[in-house]
Amino acid sequence: PHRTELYQDVPSTHWPIVYSPDYNITFMGLEKLHPFDAGKWGKVIDFLKEEKLLVDDLIVQAQEATEDDLLVVHTRRYLNKLKWSFVVATITEIPPVLFLPNFLVQRKVLKPLRTQTGGTIMAGKLAVDRGWAINVGGGFHHCSSDKGGGFCAYADITLAIKFLFERVQGVSKATIIDLDAHQGNGHERDFIDDSRVYIMDAYNRYIYPGDGFAKRAIKRKVELEWGTEDTEYLQKVQTHVEGALNELKPDIVVYNAGTDILDGDPLGGLAISPQGIVKRDEIVFKAARSRRVPILMVTSGGYQKRTARIIADSIINLHNLGLIDKELATSGAENPKVEQMLRKCTKDLTNLS
Over residues 76-127, the pLDDT tens digits come to 999 999 999 999 999 998 888 899 999 999 999 999 999 999 999 999 999 9
In a domain, 334, yes or no: yes
Q: In what order do the strands lie in the sheet with 60-61?
A: 60-61, 17-19, 132-135, 295-298, 252-256, 174-178, 197-204, 220-224
In a domain, 8, yes or no: no
Of 54-58, 117-121, 291-295, 326-330, minimum mean pLDDT range: 326-330
**105: domain CATH number?**
3.40.800.20
In a domain, 12, yes or no: no
Q: How far is C-alpha 206 from the chain's CA centre?
A: 23
In a domain, 187, yes or no: yes
Q: Which of 172, 124, 175, 178 is nearest to 152 (CA)?
A: 178
Q: Which of 193, 200, 197, 194 is nearest to 174 (CA)?
A: 197
In a domain, 6, yes or no: no
State the greatest distance between any 2 C-alpha atoms of the chain, in Å, as a whole number.
Answer: 73
Q: Is the pLDDT of residue 335 over 60?
A: no
Active site residues: 142
In a domain, 9, yes or no: no
Q: What is the mean pLDDT of residues 23-33?
A: 73
Q: How confident is the model at residue 327 (pLDDT cuts 50, 70, 90)?
A: low
Give the rounded percent of residues in the chain with a pLDDT score beyond 70: 89
Over residues 219-253, the pLDDT tens digits come to 999 999 999 999 999 999 999 999 999 999 999 99
All residues at 6 or more sequence positions from 94 whose CB lies less than 8 Å from its CB, including other chains = 30, 31, 33, 34, 109
Separation CA 229–CA 43 (nearest Å):
26
- Count of the separate structural domains present in the chain: 1
Are 76 and 34 in contact by the 8 Å Cβ rule? The answer is no
Domain that holds residue 180: 17-350
C-alpha angle 261/313/159, rounded to 5°? 60
Read off the DSSP letter of residue 99: G
In a domain, 5, yes or no: no
